[in-house]
Amino acid sequence: MTDLNQLIQWRREFHRFPETGWSEFWTTSRIADYLEEMGAELLFGKQIINSEFVRGRNQKVVDKGIQNALAYGAKQKWLDKMDGYTGCVAIFDSGKAGKTVALRFDIDCVNVGETKAENHIPNQLGFASINDGFMHACGHDGHITIGLGTALWLSQNKDKYTGKVKIVFQPAEEGVRGAAAIAASGVIDDADYFASSHISFCAFSGTVIPDLKNFLSTTKIDIRYRGKPAHAGAAPHLGRNALLAAAHAVTQLHGIARHGSGMTRINVGVLNAGEGRNVVPSKAEIQLEVRGENKEINQYMVDQVMQIARGAAISFDVAYETEIMGEAVDMSNDKALVELVSEIALQQPQVNEIVDYAFNASEDATILGRRVQEQGGKAIYFILGADRTAGHHEAEFDFDERQLETGVNVYTALVGRLLGD
């Protein structure tokens, strides 16, 4: 049986020290402490990360994360194994021949400072974030906890399943940056089944959304222009204007022809350029994202972005580079798993309703799910309902901790059904 008090204790411990994507060194170290006690086989670093596919990882953030983690008591032996890359995979092997289930829980926080409001429960009970400017405002502290609760059950109930279970504790979900590197490492390529979920989102306590629909494929791209500074009065002709290249690119980006086969999105969210009023601007940076109803339509948007980035550089005779900062794909849940999760959910005393929902957003677990599907396996991403006090990514966010138990019960029942004798 799952012990709700244990789950709450874990969740509050992780809530207190949130870490942003690719800096989850203390978080990974603490998860590893618990998993080691449970007797899991553990994989870290390059064993689970293909560094070619790492997206949006900032070295300064990484260095600061390692420093913070050490100050907060992370074990050096785990940091050594991580080798600069956060996250870990736990393997529970039943010792019996059978299939493999992969479960994925994301572990990063959001770059938002936690509210100081007195009625906010983490403030009342003393487990609010002590890492200034960072907060588990998306509920990934809950995801870590459900992963650990499931791990504990797997360690104590090896007679109840065959084959093995791989639990992925994934870094950097925010900005959809972490999953591609884990998928490309091949660590879950032997999985016959894949399951992942989000807590709360659009579903309240007592409900589960087993078949989340309309995942959007997305790519996050940075474009950087490098020109040449010059005196704006005396010698503008000697400068190369990066700001103008970027400005032209932005208006063209928003003018990309829509795709006839399905929905697309584009948003240029950031444009930084220039050094001073009387200097020809030599630097500019654009941060943008595109989305599409499916992988192909999204790729069309990416291709158009790359053309425009290059064209503007040529027009203004500046150098440029592009970098993919994050990505996710669309995914359709496999019917058999949807039926199974629905059935299991309705057997939980805390769950009284199954809900249907179109997501119209992106989540990088889809990259892992699709990878398993492409190898002939089955995948599901579902929503575990939980009342919340504010929207995700808001400073006042908190969720109904009792649903942690529902989460563990759903995952353990799922493993029992998929891998049971």
Q: How far is the CB of 181 from Zn ion (least distance, A)?
A: 18
Instruction: Measure the CA–CA gap between 184 and 329, rounded to whole angstroms.
Output: 14
Q: Which CB atom, from 138 or from 172, has the smaller least distance to Zn ion?
A: 138
Within a 10 A sphere around the Cβ of 72, how many other Cβ atoms? 17
Instruction: Measure the CA–CA gap between 112 and 20, rounded to whole angstroms.
Output: 10
Site string for Zn ion, 7-46 (x = CB under 5 A): ----------------------------------------
Give the CA radius of gyration of the chain.
23
Q: How far is the CB of 201 from Zn ion (least distance, A)?
A: 8
Q: How far is the CB of 173 from Zn ion (least distance, A)?
A: 6
Q: How far is the CB of 358 from Zn ion (least distance, A)?
A: 18
Pick left, alpha or beta for residue 398 (phi over 0 → left; psi -120 to 50 → alpha; otherwise beta). Answer: beta
Q: Which CB atom, from 264 or from 362, has the smaller least distance to Zn ion?
A: 362
Find where tokens 């942690």 sit: 404
Site size toward Zn ion (CB under 5 A) is: 1
Q: Which CB atom, from 89 or from 144, has the smaller least distance to Zn ion?
A: 144
Q: State yes or no: 41 annotated in a binding site.
A: no
Q: State yes or no: 88 annotated in a binding site.
A: no
Residue with smallest beta-carbon separation from Zn ion: 138
Helix axes 4-16, 140-156, angle to 10 degrees: 140
Interactions with Zn ion, residue window 137-166 (CB under 5 A): 138
Alpha helices in 17-170 (DSSP H): 25-37, 59-71, 76-82, 121-124, 140-156
Q: Which CB atom, from 150 or from 362, has the smaller least distance to Zn ion?
A: 362
Q: How far is the CB of 129 from Zn ion (least distance, A)?
A: 15
Q: How far is the CB of 136 from Zn ion (least distance, A)?
A: 10
Of the ranges 10-18, 135-143, 203-211, 318-326, which one interacts with Zn ion (CB under 5 A)?
A: 135-143
Instruction: Measure the CA–CA gap between 19 and 64, rounded to whole angstroms.
Output: 10
Range list of β-strands (E), 67-216:
88-93, 100-106, 164-170, 193-199, 207-209, 212-215
Of the ranges 121-129, 136-144, 147-155, 182-190, which one interacts with Zn ion (CB under 5 A)?
A: 136-144
Burial class (CB in 10 A: 0-12, 13-18, 19+), 88: buried
Instruction: Measure the CA–CA gap between 216 and 320, rounded to whole angstroms.
Output: 28
Of the ranges 39-47, 133-141, 290-298, 324-332, which one interacts with Zn ion (CB under 5 A)?
A: 133-141
Q: How far is the CB of 363 from Zn ion (least distance, A)?
A: 8
Q: 124-156 in b/e burial notation, b at 16+ Cβ within 10 A?
A: eeebbbebeebbbbbbbbbbbbbbbbbbbbbee
Of the ranges 134-142, 250-258, 305-313, 341-349, which one interacts with Zn ion (CB under 5 A)?
A: 134-142
Instruction: Measure the CA–CA gap between 411 and 150, rounded to whole angstroms.
Output: 7
Q: What is the DSSP letter of 34?
A: H
Q: Verify binding: residue 109, Zn ion, rule CB under 5 A.
A: no
Q: Which CB atom, from 137 or from 351, has the smaller least distance to Zn ion?
A: 137
Interactions with Zn ion, residue window 199-228 (CB under 5 A): none
Q: Which CB atom, from 138 or from 208, has the smaller least distance to Zn ion?
A: 138
Q: Which CB atom, from 108 or from 405, has the smaller least distance to Zn ion?
A: 108
Task: Please report how many Cα atoms fall inside a 13 Å half-sphere around the Cα of residue 15, on the Cβ side.
Answer: 24
Q: 80 phi and psi, to 5 degrees?
A: -60, -45
Q: How far is the CB of 229 from Zn ion (least distance, A)?
A: 39
Q: State yes or no: 254 annotated in a binding site.
A: no
Q: Which CB atom, from 107 or from 247, has the smaller least distance to Zn ion?
A: 107
| Positive or negative torsion for Cα 369, 371, 373, 377 | negative
Q: 342 phi and psi, to 5 degrees?
A: -60, -50
Q: Which CB atom, from 90 or from 138, has the smaller least distance to Zn ion?
A: 138
Q: State yes or no: 259 annotated in a binding site.
A: no
Within a 10 A sphere around the Cβ of 281, how many other Cβ atoms? 25
Q: How far is the CB of 174 from Zn ion (least distance, A)?
A: 5
Q: State yes or no: 109 annotated in a binding site.
A: no
Binding-site residue numbers for Mn(2+) are: 138, 140, 174, 198, 393
Residues of the binding site: 138, 140, 174, 198, 393
| Site residues, Zn ion (CB under 5 A) | 138
